[in-house]
Amino acid sequence: MHIFDEDTRVERAGAGTWSARISDRWGIGLVPNGGYVMSVAMAAMREELGGLDPLTVTSHFLRPASVGPARVEVEVVKTGRRFSTVSARLVQEAGEVLRLLGTWGRIERGGKPVYGAGAPPELPPRDSLAPAWSGSDEPAREGEMRMTIRERFDLRLDPATSGFLRGERGGAAELRGWLRFADGRAPDVHALGLLADALPPPAFNLLDPGWVPTVELTVHARAHPVGEWLRCVFRTRFIQNGLLEEDGEIWDESGSLVALSRQMAAMPQAQPRR
């Protein structure tokens, strides 16, 4: 079993209730990554619906998740021939962490787009780019956040959009790069909540890095991914009143659009203390 599947595994604990455990292997400092926590809840929603595909899922984050047991309470709002709507809440000891609403159905494999006004982001060849992270989770230096999530991915960022990694500021709040799971797991529609939140915020090109708490994250699945690598682009256009948005596109190796995402988040800040 791949790490993502192991760490999003749920077990039925009653009618509409699923037990889970939030892992420490997807951490941004002390806090588990929001897209990973969303994926845990989505796993329970999928099981409740008998394995349908997520078409659109919106998550509102009420408080930071913590490593440890969790409960996902799922309500099937409507079942139909094409679309089923389901809501869920992920709860831990401190209270409700996440509230979700989604529409699920079947995404046709190999379907051709009727219209498309966009194209995959232009990127340097993968082999010409060094991994963004070392691949090992070395102990953080004093004042730095420990980032276990870095171990989970092979990320190759376009240097033209990742100046913050070199201590540079300025330019556009845009990030482009190649992404895949480090353990060889093939991407699929059930991992899109995580994949839409896997890259650093593009606002780091303008602001000092820090913890960027997600307020809301919506993911629209458009196709089943083909291949191992994904081509990603994320953009922020407005930073105002302590909030920023992040719009994402995820494309597969065949050049098909896999997902669109939009996230609202708070500006970088210090992490909460445990």
Per-residue pLDDT reduced to its tens digit, 101-135:
999 999 999 878 899 999 999 999 999 999 998 54
- The answer to whether residue 76 is domain-embedded is yes
pLDDT category, 139, cuts 50, 70, 90?
very low
Q: Which two tokens stand for residue 181?
A: 């799971």
Please give the tally of structural domains in the chain.
1
Determine the average pLDDT of the residues in 170-190: 96
Which CATH number characterizes residue 170's domain? 2.40.160.210
- The answer to whether residue 120 is domain-embedded is no
- The answer to whether residue 117 is domain-embedded is no
Q: What is the pTM of this model?
A: 0.94
For residue 246, what are the domain limits?
A: 3-106+126-266
- The answer to whether residue 112 is domain-embedded is no
Q: How far apart are CA 211 and CA 189, in angstroms?
A: 26
- The answer to whether residue 74 is domain-embedded is yes
- The answer to whether residue 119 is domain-embedded is no
- The answer to whether residue 115 is domain-embedded is no
- The answer to whether residue 170 is domain-embedded is yes
